A and B are shown apart, each in its own frame.
Chain A
Amino acid sequence: MQPKPALRGLDIFLRKLLSHSLLSTDDQAAIAALPHSRRHFDANDYILREGDRSDVCPILGSGFAYRQKATEEGGRQIVALKIPGDALDFQSMYVRTIDHNLQALTPVDLTIVALSDFEKLVRSRPAIARAVIVDILIEASIGREWLLNLGRRNALARLAHLLCEMHYRLLDTRADGLDLRDVPMTQEQLADLLGLTPVHINRTLKELERRGAIARHGRGVRIGDIAALRALANFSDTYLHRNNHAG
């Protein structure tokens, strides 16, 4: 079936939900039929701001985004990375105030769905309600893994772990996994994500390249040897719950 271009955001969103939850064809059709609009943001644009209230749930159709929080002194921490197919604000269905900032990492195309439409869907369709909760739980699980990553892994394992995670998360919605050539993350952004200095990030990228785990082309990064990367990170994908619905 040829997907209609206008439905691209909802298509990839559905694929994301199906990666962790079972949905009947009827439920799938109800999601595909959600009223929506499309919006484009440039890299670095704010999509949601801390303290605001939201009545829509943007879904990332293409591009990458991140959640960040900052201290009063301006120290910024990237606390979550969102990839195509991710719903960006399920939580505003349940809590009133947005508790972090959401920014575009790359240019992004968003599919915007009114929270009231989502609410109708989860109220009338238990399997969809369950899928939404599973999605929120998996994001929380990723957050716990990031706490461990930032608190207790050395720079090499920390960066390797992040790259492994992105690779496996991307595999849920596309066949080739991580190709950071599409994700122009600067040293500074990786530093803000991993709690390291940009110099340390650069040194660590070089070390990963030297060991053959990644290949670099200018600023872009590609997986060189996923097995080597996994070994360096001691990576297990259990926390991503990738085969959640498999028996």
Chain B
Amino acid sequence: MTRYFFHTSDGTREYDDVGVDLADDTAARREAARFGGGLLQDNPDIVQNEHGLRINVVDEAGSLTFAILITALDPRWETEKA
């Protein structure tokens, strides 16, 4: 078991100082996705933030294991770029 910490930024930053013990990175990724799903269910508008919702999953040593990004893409922006 490894302890993972799930820090979020969705306009404001929330620092997870408790963490959750999980089997491995795969389990942590699932947990992060479920957590993000829960946050979205509470407040679907967070996808409209400038940078959407970002969940940084960090190990006990403080290094980033991976991040999950949930954001809405503006189709006009896609067109301009093309």
Contacts and interface: CB of A to CB of B under 8 A. Distances in A.
Contacts of A187: 18, 20
Nearest to B33: A197
Contacts of B34: 197
Contacts of A200: 35, 38-39
A208 to B, nearest CB: 14
Interface residue SS majority, chain A? helix
Nearest to B42: A154
Contact of B20 (A156, A196, A199, A206): A199
Interface residues of A, number: 12
Given A154-B42, A155-B42, A202 B35 contact: no
A225 B8 CA distance: 27
B16 interface: yes
Contacts of A206: 14
B26 to A, nearest CB: 15
B42 A199 contact: no
B59 interface: no
A143 interface: no
Interface string B9-43: 00000101010100000000001001100110111
Interface in A187-217: 187, 196-200, 202-203, 206
A197 B6 CA distance: 11
B14 A203 contact: yes
A235 B31 CA distance: 30
Nearest to A153: B42
A197 B35 contact: yes
Given A154-B42, A155-B38, A155-B42, A197 B31 contact: yes
Interface string A144-162: 0000000000111000000
B60 to A, nearest CB: 15
A202 B21 CA distance: 13
Contacts of A199: 6, 16, 20, 31, 35
Interface in B38-52: 38-39, 41-43
Interface string B58-76: 0000000000000000000
B78 to A, nearest CB: 32
A200 B16 CA distance: 10
Nearest to A197: B35
Nearest to B38: A200
A199 B37 CA distance: 12
B18 A196 contact: no
A218 to B, nearest CB: 11
Interface of B: 6, 8, 14, 16, 18, 20, 31, 34-35, 38-39, 41-43
Given A154-B41, A197-B31, 12 more contacts: A154-B43, A155-B38, A187-B18, A196-B38, A197-B34, A199-B6, A199-B16, A199-B20, A199-B31, A202-B16, A203-B14, A203-B16
